[in-house]
Amino acid sequence: MNSKTEQKAAHRVVIVGAGFGGLTAAESLARSAAQVTVIDRRNHHTFQPLLYQVATAGLSPAEITAPIRSILGRHKNVEVLMAEVTAVDLDRRVVQTADFEVPYDSLIVAAGASHAYFGHDEWEKFAPGLKTIEDALEIRRRILLAFELAERQAAAGEHLAPLNFVVVGAGPTGVELAGTLAEICRHSMAGEFRAIDPAKARIHLIEGGPNVLPTYPADLSRSALEQLERLGVEVLTSSMVSKVEAGAIYIGETRMEAAVILWAAGVSASPLGKKLGLPTDRAGRVLVNPDLSIPDHPEVFVIGDLASLKDVRGNLLPGVAQVAIQQGRFVAKIIRQEIARGMRRTPSANGREPSRPLFRYHDKGNLATIGRAAAVAEIGRVHLSGYFAWLTWLFVHIFFLIGFRNRILVLIQWASSYVTYERGSRLITGGTNLPGWRGFHPQGPEAERGPQEISAAGRK
Amino acid sequence: MNSKTEQKAAHRVVIVGAGFGGLTAAESLARSAAQVTVIDRRNHHTFQPLLYQVATAGLSPAEITAPIRSILGRHKNVEVLMAEVTAVDLDRRVVQTADFEVPYDSLIVAAGASHAYFGHDEWEKFAPGLKTIEDALEIRRRILLAFELAERQAAAGEHLAPLNFVVVGAGPTGVELAGTLAEICRHSMAGEFRAIDPAKARIHLIEGGPNVLPTYPADLSRSALEQLERLGVEVLTSSMVSKVEAGAIYIGETRMEAAVILWAAGVSASPLGKKLGLPTDRAGRVLVNPDLSIPDHPEVFVIGDLASLKDVRGNLLPGVAQVAIQQGRFVAKIIRQEIARGMRRTPSANGREPSRPLFRYHDKGNLATIGRAAAVAEIGRVHLSGYFAWLTWLFVHIFFLIGFRNRILVLIQWASSYVTYERGSRLITGGTNLPGWRGFHPQGPEAERGPQEISAAGRK
């Protein structure tokens, strides 16, 4: 810190992560007296509720993302740095990256969470999860490639293994992926293949608990199950995955061949949580004070998926956008107020700031889509299923997308898909190796087998 | 080949490559008596004239591509296989891939061309070229990352090397890249950075010959040069690149530091051309007969960028979409006619089919865009520059895009960009290593330097 800084003494707020929580906090601190630095390892904010649309070739990555710099650029007191935070020195009050440090007066850690493999990280390469744009593109690549390789194999007259898609985990993401996959197989791909029939592909949705959408009310869980089965998804509940390998998944002792396996189960908080050196829950979420600060450090807040906090009824707050957004707004308000009062903080004996309000989550409702005109919605005491739930889902998601252009583009994509059943971004990029495919050779592209002839008649 | 095939004896046409040439040939053979197989190593057709828009974050990959299978799927006599053709056995009349063979009665090789490094393939990793969607995404990643890393470095108070962008080759692609880069620096990024001023970035366009757009008439070359300079591009003509290394390029003996180097020079035909075992020109293009067949094999045609053919005035036909499209239509017509006549071919002494027409290219004009409201157009004897040339370019390109949805989406993107100066797909995917960046460490992300502090005041 140089002398100029000490003279000016603007209150420095560092925000780690520009997901829903971090971005909301930054926007709530715009035009305040604070000097805000947002650090994210990506240059873009991702609208995660629509990631499954990128993974299933319905939308382009750019349509559900926006450069963090563009969103925040108009606020002169906010700067954006693209870097990966490696640690926080709570005593010196600096955030550390591999090659520089940023000092703070207040810190908001909103580094998010990812999927978890229950201690089996080696499953990841066979069963990718869905948390980033890169994840979505990898899943898209695998889904589209499975059809192409099946067609090629069938055309070459080889024995064709069943075209099985397996989705693990029946939370909102798993349900969305399975439902959309069913639609793709039955409709989008119809008529475009000669040697295989995409409609004969099977989609399995595997859930460890007894119900799909386990956090939803029982009637909506049941409705979601019915809607999934109507789309042709085979749902297996109370089924634990015991092993994943190239091209196969085990449910207990039973082996199931699979062209593509997708992982939508488990939560694992950002490793930054553990690095703070504070107590965390089993998923690695930081146990925060009711004002979202951490013990003994009223100047440090943890929000969003990385925070573990229970509501008044003792239920853990869910890892959804609404919680993160409300928390971002809540901590920004505390910081603004304390700057305005020129307050020096003096933590009480239990390590909390006594004068602060406590965070309360206002649940505005929950929405999960299953497919075309299929969804469930819980809005207060109103439970909706089917077409109206789906319409609600559609407009809520377009409304919350960032950027006017993205809203228009997504609206056109969906209108077009609704009429034509086509998916808007069906391109395979990033290579043609598919782990688990019978033709897959880790050492290179299909080098080992001898050539086989394709004859026009052999193609049926 | 099995007995069933011999009974039916449908004329089997294999088309290698689904670029402009191959796709046009396939569509021209739809609903004919031929049994058509299109083989491409990608699942999508790429509208190459707009690749530079993906590379400069203006459009999404899906907006300039379409699945080959969707384009051709409605034609029952056409099948599509995603595979890489490794060789052609001209005697046995089979196309070979790594794991199967496809027999043909007529073959159309339309495998295209790529950029060339004049024997210095080791330059590629420092100076990527632009021929595929993956290339475009890599270039986009480097351009956007250069700004992010510069901001980070400046914020950390490190010595900042000039933010130099170098484009090698002033053909249409090089001119488009340089012009758009200038626009991005002056307009799109303005106001979003705190530590650097993107408008101070420099864009260098380096051309070995004496003029930009060397294949265009002299007045349009001059106009293009003026339009480039007005946008702030520094043009160096008659300048040969002697060496490329991490973060620097040499013009003769002069070393120029560069954050990003892009390669838009040279042509290298697909290696499949050489594998046919026939005479090629220096760029690897197959020297074809005037009917586009190859010597002694009237059943094999080579079209598009892979073919080397001179027009009546002795000029080599250019490697542009129009040539490939006309050639695709031409050979498809020959094949249809010969199937209709049930003709058995008997090559003449010079290895040509005597009864066939000769290919003639009808030049409908040439268009190159430079930037916002800046372009040149040659339409017959009419030469246009500036706004009207640009409007012509715009509508021609939207018209020729494949798919109604893509046309609408691109139109919206451009209208929006024109008003806001924003680029529609400014996201960085695929890692944060930038070869040539001073902070770049091939062994891992910035591991070697010690941390440096960023203070609010140090950020200016």
Question: What's residue B354's pLDDT?
Answer: 66
Q: How confident is the model at residue B459 (pLDDT cuts 50, 70, 90)?
A: very low
**What mean pLDDT is predicted for residues A37-60?**
95
State the complex-level ipTM. 0.89
The answer, yes or no, to whether residue B177 has pLDDT greater than 50, is yes
B408 neighbourhood in chain A, CB within 8 Å:
412
- Encoded tokens for A260: 């593509």
pLDDT of residue B8: 52
Q: Which of A429, A433, A446 should be substituted to probe chain B, the one whose Cβ sees the most B Cβ atoms within 10 Å?
A: A429
Cα separation, A267 vs A265, whole angstroms = 7
Torsion sign across C-alpha atoms B284, B288, B292, B293:
negative
Q: Which of A63, A151, A176, A183 is catalytic?
A: A176
Instruction: Report CB contact under 8 Å: B103, A412.
Output: no
| Res A436: pLDDT | 58
For B451, which of A99, A145, A428 is closest by C-beta distance?
A99
Contact B98 A70 (CB under 8 A): no
Label residue A443 by pLDDT band (50, 70, 90).
very low
Alpha-helical (H) ranges within A156-278 are 172-183, 218-230, 272-275
CA-nearest of B111, B114, B127, B122 to B267 is B114
Query: Is A425 close to B61, i.e. CB distance below 8 A?
Result: yes
B87 and A CB contact within 8 Å: no
Q: Do A152 and B195 touch (CB under 8 A)?
A: no
Using the beta-carbon criterion (under 8 Å), do B156 and A99 form an inter-chain contact?
Answer: yes
* DSSP β-bridge partners for residue A37: A14, A79
Give CA B337 to chain center in angstroms: 32
Q: What single-letter DSSP state applies at residue B386? A: T
Query: Could you tell me the pLDDT band of residue B156, with boundaries at 50, 70 and 90?
Result: confident
**Can you give the pLDDT at residue B417?**
86
Residues 1-20 of A with CB under 8 A from B: 1-2, 4-5, 8, 10, 12
Facing residue for B427 by CB, picked from A67, A103, A427: A67
* pLDDT: which is higher, B386 or A460: B386
Amino acid B447: pLDDT: 31
A408·B413 Cβ contact <8 A:
no
pLDDT for B358 beyond 50: yes
pLDDT surpasses 50 at B444: no
pLDDT higher than 80, residue A344: no
SS3 content of chain A, % helix, strand, coil (to 5): 35, 25, 45
A30 phi, psi to nearest 5 deg: -65, 150
Specify whether the backbone of A151 is left (phi greater than 0), alpha (psi in -120 to 50) or beta: alpha
Q: What is the pLDDT of residue A457?
A: 35
| CB atoms closer than 10 angstroms to residue A257 | 14
Min distance A241 CA to chain B CA atoms (Å): 30
How confident is the model at residue B437, as a pLDDT? Answer: 59
Cα B411 off chain centre by: 21
Least confident of A266-280, B104-118, B426-440: B426-440
* Res A3: pLDDT: 41
Q: Identify the closest residue of chain A to B158 by CA–CA distance.
A: A100
**Mean pLDDT across the stretch B312-334?**
95
Q: Is the pLDDT score of A6 beyond 80? A: no
Mean pLDDT confidence for B206-229: 96
What's the pLDDT band for A8 if we cut at 50, 70, 90? low
B403 confidence band (pLDDT: 50, 70, 90) = confident
pLDDT at B349: 54
3-state helix, strand, coil in chain B (%, to 5): 35, 25, 45
**Contact list, A196 vs chain B (CB under 8 Å):** none
Position B451 pLDDT exceeds 70: no
Beta carbons of B94 and A453 less than 8 Å apart: yes
Give the whole-angstrom CA distance, residue B101 versus residue B78. 17
Nearest-Cα distance to chain B for A307, in Å, is 27
Nearest Cα residue in chain A from B449: A99
- Token pair, residue B66, equals 């379409």
Query: What's the mean pLDDT when you consider all of chain B?
Result: 88
B273 pLDDT above the threshold of 50: yes
User: 3-state class of B94 per DSSP?
Assistant: strand
A441 touches chain B (CB under 8 A): no
With a cut of 70, say whether residue A131 has pLDDT above it.
yes
Q: Which of residues 350-389 of B touch A (CB under 8 A)?
A: none
CB A434 within 8 A of CB A125: no
pLDDT above 70 (res A188): yes
At residue A369, the pLDDT reads 94
Please indicate whether, in this complex, the C-beta atoms of B2 and A458 are within 8 angstroms of each other. Answer: yes
Residue B155, token pair as written in the block: 């914020």
Q: Please report which confidence band the pLDDT of residue B342 belongs to, taking 50, 70 and 90 as the band edges.
A: confident
> B155 vs A429: CB contact, 8 Å cut-off?
no
Q: Tell me the chain B residues in contact with residue A424 when contact means C-beta distances shorter than 8 Å.
A: 62, 405
Task: From residue A430, give the alpha-carbon distance in Å to each of A278, A316, B161.
Answer: 40, 39, 32
Least confident of A69-83, A146-160, B226-240: A146-160
Of A331-345, B215-229, B272-286, minimum mean pLDDT range: A331-345
Residues of chain A with C-beta less than 8 angstroms from the C-beta of B8: 456-457
Residues on chain A touching B152 (C-beta within 8 angstroms):
81-83, 100
* Residue A78 scores a pLDDT above 90: yes
The answer to whether A456 contacts B8, with C-beta atoms less than 8 Å apart, is yes
Whole-structure pTM value: 0.91
A176 is catalytic: yes
Max Cα-Cα span within chain B? 84
Whole-angstrom distance, CA of residue B123 vs CA of residue B435: 11
Catalytic residue positions of B, numbered: 176
Q: Which residues of A351-366 are buried (b: 16+ CB within 10 A; e: fewer)?
A: ebbeebeebebeeeeb
Q: How confident is the model at residue A352 (pLDDT cuts 50, 70, 90)?
A: low
Question: According to the model, what pLDDT value does residue B44 have?
Answer: 96
Amino acid identity of B409? L
| Contact map slice: B 161-180 vs A, CB within 8 A | none
Q: Which residues in chain B have Cβ-Cβ distances shorter than 8 Å to A192?
A: 67, 69-70, 73, 80
Residue A126: per-residue pLDDT: 94
- Binning pLDDT at 50, 70 and 90, where does residue A58 land? very high
Q: Is A416 on the interface with B (CB under 8 A)?
A: yes
C-beta separation of B151 from B454 below 8 A:
no
Q: What mean pLDDT value characterizes chain A?
A: 88
State the DSSP H helix or E strand holding residue B337, giving kind and residue range, or none if neither. helix B321-340
Q: Taking residues B102-115, what's their average pLDDT? A: 96
Query: Is the pLDDT confidence value at B329 over 90?
Result: yes
Q: Is B137 on the interface with A (CB under 8 A)?
A: yes
**Structure confidence at residue B419 as a pLDDT band (50, 70, 90):** confident
pLDDT for res B348: 56
Residue in B12, B79, B101 closest to A453 by CB: B101
Q: Do B427 and A102 touch (CB under 8 A)?
A: no
Give the A:B interface size as CB pairs under 8 Å.
Answer: 233
| Terminal-to-terminal C-alpha distance of chain A | 74
- The pLDDT value recorded for residue B442 is 33
**Cβ–Cβ below 8 Å for A69 and B4:** no
